Amino acid sequence: MAAIAPIRTVTGRGVVVAGDDIDTDRIIPARFLRCVTFDDLAEGLFLDVRIDEDGRPTGHPLDRSEHAGASVLVSGRNFGCGSSREHAPQAIARAGFRAVIAGSFAEIFFANATTLGLVCLALDEGPLARLQAAIQAEPSATLTIDVAEASVTCADQRYPGRIADTARSVLLTGRYDPLAELLAGSDAIDAVAANLPYVGAAGGAR
């Protein structure tokens, strides 16, 4: 399989989608899951809060001109909770985002996003609020996420945060898609399967 490039930094403008517990139904409403590829997901991103029921734009931050081209999504606590749909990080990535900064992340979202190389940086409440205020005050400011340091810099101000070590190491080494490493463990997989009675003979099928 093709090698993937390490992700050491993410640089770009930010956009704040405020609120805690933003769930994956909100990120990508279920009707957009009626698909057999991920190709067209970007158009559904946050759609139900971007337009009202008559189809009129609500003035959502993602649609404001000052945030056009932003590549860092900034939100609140427990981002990506709810459904395990990878369609959520896929939609975010396909809409041009390369990182999400939040108070915390729901686990399945975090795992899905990391596998795609979408960087998830968690900030404590204080720094997160200050970063959000800085972006609101100066939407054209450039954010730089340093993956190794698990921090973000915006307008000369550095905000320290957290990225789980397991994710940080794979981002920095370009091995965030684990499939190649999993495939390499082939003999050990068979050995474990052979010891599990419920897997039984079926495990040998290959």
Partner 1 sequence: MPPRTLFDKVWDAHTVRTLDNGQTQLFIGTHLIHEVTSPQAFGMLEDLGLSVRMPARTFATVDHIVPTDQREEPFADALADQMIKALRANCLRHGITYFDLHSGLQGIVHMVGPEQGITQPGSTIACGDSHTSTHGAFGAIAFGIGTSQVRDVLATQTLAMSKPKLRRIEVNGTLRPGVYAKDVILHIIRTLGVNGGIGFAYEYAGEVFDALSMEERMTVCNMSIEGGARCGYVNPDQTTFDYLAGRPYAPQGAAWDEAVVRWRALASDPGCSYDDVVVIDAADIAPTVTWGINPGQAIAIDEAVPHPDRVRADERASVEEALAHMQLTPGQPIQGTKIDVAFLGSCTNARLSDFREVAAVLGGRRVAPGVHAIAVPGSTLVKEACEREGIDRVLIDAGFEWRAAGCSMCLAMNPDKLVGDQLCASSSNRNFKGRQGSASGRTVLMSPVMVAAAAVTGVISDARAVFGAGAKVSA
Shorter beta-carbon distance to partner 1: residue 9 or 169: 169
Contacts of partner 1 in 103-162 (CB under 8 A): 104, 106-108, 111-112, 115-116, 125
Query: In whole angstroms, how close is the CB of 163 to partner 1 at the nearest point?
Result: 12
**b/e burial code for range 133-149 (CB count within 10 A of at least 16 → b):** ebbeeebeeebebbbee
Amino acid at 8: R
Shorter beta-carbon distance to partner 1: residue 25 or 149: 25
> Exposed, middle or buried by CB within 10 Å (0-12, 13-18, 19+), for 169?
middle
Amino acid at 28: I
Shorter beta-carbon distance to partner 1: residue 73 or 143: 73
Q: At what angle do helices 107-116 and 165-173 cross, to 10 degrees?
A: 10
Contact between 100 and partner 1 by CB under 8 A: the answer reads: no
Query: Which residues have a Cβ under 8 Å from the Cβ of 65 and sit 6 or more positions away?
Result: none
Out of 3, 34, 55, 137, name the contact with partner 1 by CB under 8 A.
34
- Whole-angstrom Cα distance, residue 75 to residue 46? 13
- Whole-angstrom Cα distance, residue 16 to residue 32? 23
Contact between 43 and partner 1 by CB under 8 A: the answer reads: no
Query: In whole angstroms, how close is the CB of 83 to partner 1 at the nearest point?
Result: 5
Shorter beta-carbon distance to partner 1: residue 8 or 31: 31
User: Contact, 67 vs 139, CB < 8 A?
Assistant: yes
Contact between 23 and partner 1 by CB under 8 A: the answer reads: yes
Q: Return residues touching partner 1 (CB under 8 A).
A: 1, 18-21, 23, 25-26, 29-31, 33-38, 48-49, 52-53, 77-78, 81-87, 89, 104, 106-108, 111-112, 115-116, 125, 164-167, 169-170, 173, 175, 177-179, 181-183, 185-186, 188-189, 192-193, 195-199, 202-203, 205-206
